């Protein structure tokens, strides 16, 4: 039986989360989406870990800004081959159905376009973990900078099919704003009302709301709950202009 992975949340920039994944059995460590390098390098060093890999979900600088320094520190950079031209630090290009490993733990690469067209997620199904970058957020989804509602709706269907207990590690602390919009989208959804009590309390105390779970998102995320791509697009346009 594999030893469980350790996942450490590292706040970077203004509202980003990068992640350290550590496998105690192999002593390997992966950084996910380092918007800047030093906080992750410091956190790893404090734990006696050495970062050997970076897993990149998409090209945006707040997710790749630390790649070069990570590479100089000895890490191999893996990311979406479809965005190779925008991620010059890539050492390993991956796409839909490819796999990456940390020790004996395997992550399958999912193509999840829409926020950017080459965006990928890393799904460690045996560990019940998915790193969604800027596609699935707690009570929200990413802006459609490069894709369409159809793209994002297809992503939501794939996430919704994961087991309830799957832990979702996303790229930003957007939960409070997302939840306020969710309340306007589904004002009679008592699960959202109750979740927002918890979220507001956590944020008042300066605590994080991530990771979330697929179960929580099925109950409270209007985008994951959308019955069609058309409805998701309507919601996304509403959220883009939301000032709450």
The annotated binding site for Zn(2+) is made up of 58, 60, 62-63, 115, 134, 172
Of the residues 63, 105, 119, 123, only one is catalytic, namely: 63
Domain boundaries, the chain: 6-241
> pLDDT per residue over 65-76, tens digit each?
999 999 999 999
Q: Extract the annotated binding site.
A: 58, 60, 62-63, 115, 134, 172
> What is the predicted pLDDT for the residue at 1?
67
Task: Answer yes or no: is pLDDT of 40 > 90.
Answer: yes
- What's the CATH fold of domain 6-241? Metallo-beta-lactamase; Chain A (3.60.15)
Is the predicted pLDDT of residue 243 greater than 90, yes or no?
no
Concerning whether 22 is annotated as a catalytic residue, the answer is: no
* Catalytic-role residue among 23, 33, 58, 127: 58
Residue-wise pLDDT tens digits, 75-86:
999 999 999 999
Determine whether 58 is an active site residue: yes
The yes-or-no answer on residue 91 being catalytic is: no
Q: Is 123 a catalytic residue?
A: no
Instruction: List pLDDT tens digits, range 85-117.
Output: 999 999 999 999 999 999 999 999 999 999 999
Active site residue 134: yes
| pLDDT at residue 3 greater than cutoff 90 | no
Position 168 pLDDT exceeds 90: yes
Residue 244 has pLDDT above 80, yes or no: no
Task: Give buried/exposed letters for 65-76 (b at 16+ CB in 10 A, else e).
Answer: bbbebbbebebb
């Amino acid at each position: 039986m594999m030893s469980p992975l350790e996942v450490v949340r590292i706040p970077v920039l203004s509202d980003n989360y990068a992640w350290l994944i550590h496998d105690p059995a192999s002593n390997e460590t992966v950084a996910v989406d380092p918007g800047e390098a030093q906080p992750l390098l410091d956190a790893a060093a404090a734990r006696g870990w050495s970062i050997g890999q970076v897993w990149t979900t998409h090209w945006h600088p707040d997710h790749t800004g630390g790649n070069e320094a990570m590479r100089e520190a000895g890490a191999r950079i893996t990311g979406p081959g479809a965005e190779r031209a925008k991620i010059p630090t890539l050492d390993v290009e991956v796409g839909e159905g490819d796999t990456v490993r940390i020790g004996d733990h395997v992550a399958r690469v999912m193509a999840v376009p829409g926020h950017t067209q080459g965006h990928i997620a890393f799904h460690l199904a045996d560990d019940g973990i998915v790193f969604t970058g800027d596609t699935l957020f707690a009570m929200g989804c990413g802006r459609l900078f490069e894709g369409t509602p159809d793209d994002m709706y297809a992503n939501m269907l794939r996430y919704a099919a994961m087991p309830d207990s799957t832990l979702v590690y996303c790229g930003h602390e957007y939960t409070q704003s997302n939840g306020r919009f969710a309340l306007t989208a589904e004002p009679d959804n008592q699960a959202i009302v109750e979740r927002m009590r918890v979220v507001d309390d956590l944020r008042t105390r300066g605590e994080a709301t991530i990771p979330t779970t697929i179960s929580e998102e099925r109950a409270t995320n209007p985008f994951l709950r959308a019955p069609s791509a058309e409805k998701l697009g309507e919601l996304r346009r509403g959220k883009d202009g939301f000032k709450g």
